[in-house]
């Protein structure tokens, strides 16, 4: 690269749930960072459509370890940096109304405890003490992880953005990549619709649009965007804390989850069945009736609450429902943080620190294990159970 072009240690593509925290931690480590995003401001891709659940309650060790670190970061963020991201440690509850879910959750609980999670099985009486307004009919019990919680994705992302600015990170909005420049199999720069920039490392954190970036350097990964809808109600006095997750598949949806935010609104979302692939983010007429029936089946008390709005966002999914994180073996300096499967907010800080250590060559033994599970070169044969 000619030295007349601006040079950065790292260029990040995307200022969302992964890109913004990665920029912050890289700059905190003393690196010169540029973030390029085609949107007009941070978090305008999938970040703003997330509902904000933060859990380490997974079935995969890599996601457990990354999200445990994210939980630690989010829960202490306001204390350390002064920004209110509406963190609430309300916990997560996976409910069981059938023997099938009881068996699956209890079997998974053994593995989760081996990963170091603070999680227990509660019978119906114990669970009703935690969430009194659950539908009692056919309730068997559920798993409860009290250290999980929720945040405002927009406030958290904007805080990472502001803190990154204080560390002299450069953000270029309304700008997009047209070419990734390589020499002898290594990233040396990028060309955008505005300029050319030199770099030692490029991080693809472009969310649902990541494969469009990969296409510029002939990298192909099995990532398919899926549309998921969500809704928010009017605020009401707080009467429960935990995110409630129902993993029963029923016609039209394969699972359902909801919680009451710190500000009083109820947020809810489901995974459609069959899945809806593609980039269409227009709301459907079928979502609200289906979701309303599911939420009232679990918590009848909500029957008179008013829904304020619905929206639809994108989940960049992989075949095994695990992210793709690490160094591309075909192109040196090309780092991937893609395919978050709708969990970019909760994975973001943990992955950001991991990428920082990867670039600084300070990886721990645990980091190496995580990167092995999430390797771009894996076979995608395993399956995350709690998607």
36 CB-near residues (< 8 Å, 6+ apart): 11, 12, 13, 14, 172, 175, 176, 177, 190, 192
| Domain assignments of the chain as residue spans, ordered by start | 7-51+154-222+320-373, 89-148+224-317
Nearest to 270 by CA among 230, 308, 297: 230
**What pLDDT digit, counting tens, does each position of 232-251 carry?**
999 999 999 999 999 999 99
Cα–Cα distance list, 141 to 57, 95, 102, 112, 238 (Å): 17, 6, 7, 17, 22
Please state whether beta strands 266-273 and 170-173 pair in parallel, antiparallel, or not at all (unpaired): unpaired
Helix, strand, or coil (residue 382): coil
Domains 7-51+154-222+320-373 and 89-148+224-317 share a fold: no
> Given CA atoms 357, 361, 366, 370 in this order, what sign does their dihedral have?
positive
> Given CA atoms 79, 81, 85, 89 in this order, what sign does their dihedral have?
negative
**What pLDDT digit, counting tens, does each position of 209-238 carry?**
999 999 999 999 999 999 999 999 999 999
The Cα–Cα gap between 49 and 69 comes to: 23
CB 190 within 8 A of CB 180: yes
Q: Quick one: tokens of 364?
A: 């721990």
- In this structure, how many other beta carbons lie within 10 angstroms of the beta carbon of residue 280? 12
CB 198 within 8 A of CB 8: yes
Nearest to 387 by CA among 224, 230, 270: 270
pLDDT value of residue 314 = 97
C-alpha of 262 from chain center: 19
pLDDT value of residue 343 = 97
**What pLDDT digit, counting tens, does each position of 291-331 carry?**
999 999 999 999 999 999 999 999 999 999 999 999 999 99
pLDDT value of residue 293 = 97
C-alpha of 307 from chain center: 24
Nearest to 351 by CA among 19, 8, 9, 14: 19
Buried b (16+ CB within 10 A) or exposed e, 219-236: bebebebbbbbbbbbeee
φ, ψ for residue 69, nearest 5 deg: -70, -40
The Cα–Cα gap between 387 and 385 comes to: 6
C-alpha of 121 from chain center: 25
The CA R_g of the chain, rounded to the nearest whole Å, is 21
CATH annotation of 89-148+224-317: 3.30.9.10
Does 3 have pLDDT greater than 80?
Answer: no
Cα–Cα distance list, 38 to 14, 169, 192, 214, 316 (Å): 8, 17, 10, 16, 18
State which fold the 7-51+154-222+320-373 domain adopts: FAD/NAD(P)-binding domain (3.50.50)
Query: For a pLDDT cut of 90, what percent of the chain falls above it?
Result: 97
CB 155 within 8 A of CB 262: no
The Cα–Cα gap between 170 and 165 comes to: 7
**What pLDDT digit, counting tens, does each position of 168-194 carry?**
999 999 999 999 999 999 999 999 999
């Amino acid at each position: 690269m000619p030295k007349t072009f601006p040079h950065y240690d790292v260029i990040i593509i995307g200022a969302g749930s992964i890109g913004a925290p990665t920029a912050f931690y890289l700059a905190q480590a003393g690196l010169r960072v540029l973030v390029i995003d085609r949107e007009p401001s941070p978090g305008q891709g999938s970040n703003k459509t997330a509902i904000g659940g933060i859990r380490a309650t997974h079935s995969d060790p890599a996601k457990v370890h990354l999200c445990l670190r994210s939980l630690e970061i989010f829960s202490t963020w306001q204390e350390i940096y002064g920004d209110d991201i509406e963190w609430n440690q309300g916990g997560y509850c996976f409910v069981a109304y059938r023997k099938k879910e009881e068996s699956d959750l209890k079997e998974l609980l053994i593995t989760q405890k081996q990963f170091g999670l603070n999680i227990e099985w509660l019978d119906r009486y114990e669970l009703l003490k935690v969430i009194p307004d659950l539908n009692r009919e056919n309730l068997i019990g559920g798993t409860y992880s009290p250290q999980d919680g929720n945040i405002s994705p927009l406030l958290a992302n904007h805080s990472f953005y502001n803190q990154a600015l204080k560390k002299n990170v450069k953000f270029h909005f309304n700008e997009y990549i047209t070419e990734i420049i390589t020499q002898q199999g290594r990233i040396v720069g990028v060309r955008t619709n505005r300029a050319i920039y030199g770099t030692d490392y490029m991080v693809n954190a472009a969310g649902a649009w990541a494969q469009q970036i990969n296409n510029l350097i002939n990298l192909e990964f099995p990532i398919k965007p899926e549309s998921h809808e969500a809704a928010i109600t009017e605020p009401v006095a707080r009467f429960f804390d935990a995110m409630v997750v129902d993993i029963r598949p029923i016609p039209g949806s394969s699972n359902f989850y909801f919680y009451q935010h710190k500000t009083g609104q109820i947020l809810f979302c489901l995974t459609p069945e069959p899945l809806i692939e593609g980039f269409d983010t227009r709301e459907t007429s079928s979502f609200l009736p289906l979701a309303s029936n599911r939420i009232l089946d679990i918590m009848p008390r909500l029957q008179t609450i008013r829904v304020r709005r619905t929206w639809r966002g994108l989940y960049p999914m992989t075949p095994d429902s695990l992210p793709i994180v690490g160094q591309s073996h075909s192109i040196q300096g090309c780092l991937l943080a893609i395919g978050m499967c709708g969990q970019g907010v909760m994975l973001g800080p943990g992955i950001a620190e991991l990428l920082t250590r990867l670039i600084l060559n300070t990886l721990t033994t645990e980091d190496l294990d995580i990167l092995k599970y999430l390797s771009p070169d894996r076979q995608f044969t395993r399956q995350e159970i709690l998607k």
